[in-house]
Amino acid sequence: MNKLKRLNIQHDISLKKHNTFGIDVKARHFTSVSATEELRDILRQPGYPDKFILGGGSNILFTGDVEALVIHMNIKGITVTQEGEDHVFIRAGAGENWHEFVLWTLEKGYGGLENLSLIPGNVGTAPIQNIGAYGVELKDVFSSCEAVEIASGETKSFHLQDCRFGYRNSIFKQEAKGKYIITSVTFKLTKRKHHIHIDYGAIRSRLAEQGIETPSIRDISEAVISIRRSKLPDPAEIGNSGSFFKNPVIPAEDFEKLKNRYPEIPHYPVSEKHVKVPAGWLIEQCGFKGRRFGDAGVHTKQALVLVNYGNATGKEIWKLAQDIRETVSEKFGISIHPEVNVL
């Protein structure tokens, strides 16, 4: 009993404030950890065979109560681990808020994360998803991460090649899924000669509107923040998880057939054989943009975002997502898949 009290395991706790959709479900057991050793103590605790790791709750849709022990990762800290003339290596704790961490790097003049500004969530979940936006992905700045193996409690380092990053994918969503808990992530950022990415989305036009011809990394960050705020709802105001679906990548020959039918279809070449099509455009063409079904709906400005207008359940939002998938498949012959984890 003293061990349980020391580890502060709570019971029947609402997770509404721990997920950006604002879904009111309960965790049968809940604890928050702020140090790696504390995490190991929790993992050694008997009586809780099933564990569920919760970060910022920005990429999850709860469709029911969680029977497992929910471990909320709250490990903080930002450290410079290595520094040279051109690059700096920064280690951030898994519990650091992602956007606040990006702003910290910009304050220091470090480049690499500016295109990833204002992405919701925490640092520890970023590698799992290989988060990306406006032409940059986490893998482009990732050096390594440390993770605790759930079965043994031992710490293992995963380097870039170990993580097998793909589009919104990594080893942590494949063979290592449910086996490790990321405790910190190390990034390789630039100190000078920054790699400027302004050709994806509306960054270039937003900079042009401001008369900026040679943008700094801070200029790019501010442009990205402005664009995201103009299109994406604030989870503090309306429940959402950002982009709900991945942008599908289809064979180039299939795209050419679609282009004959829909000449205005936006697209981004991935390779000579594959093309990425915006899922939001597909959903909008199917008439879902701005529609509301009870308290579940599709955002008025961005069809890629599903929203909770107040009291929608996870099951209601998931049903809407499935209806959207079926309609897109019927109209375009394209399968779109959730970017959000559905539990």
Helices and strands per DSSP (H, E), number in the chain: 10, 20
The span from the CA of 5 to the CA of 258, in Å, is 60
**Which residue in the list 144, 184, 221, 243 is annotated as catalytic?**
243
Contact 30, 9 (CB under 8 A): yes
**Which residue in the list 168, 206, 228, 325 is annotated as catalytic?**
168
Axis-axis angle for helices 98-107, 217-231 (nearest 10): 150
Give the HSE-up count for residue 327: Cα atoms under 13 Å, Cβ half-sphere. Answer: 15
Question: Can you read off the two tokens belonging to residue 26?
Answer: 């309960």
Identify whether 243 is a catalytic site residue: yes
Locus of tokens 């609402």: 14
Identify whether 168 is a catalytic site residue: yes
Q: Please give the positions annotated as active site.
A: 168, 243, 339
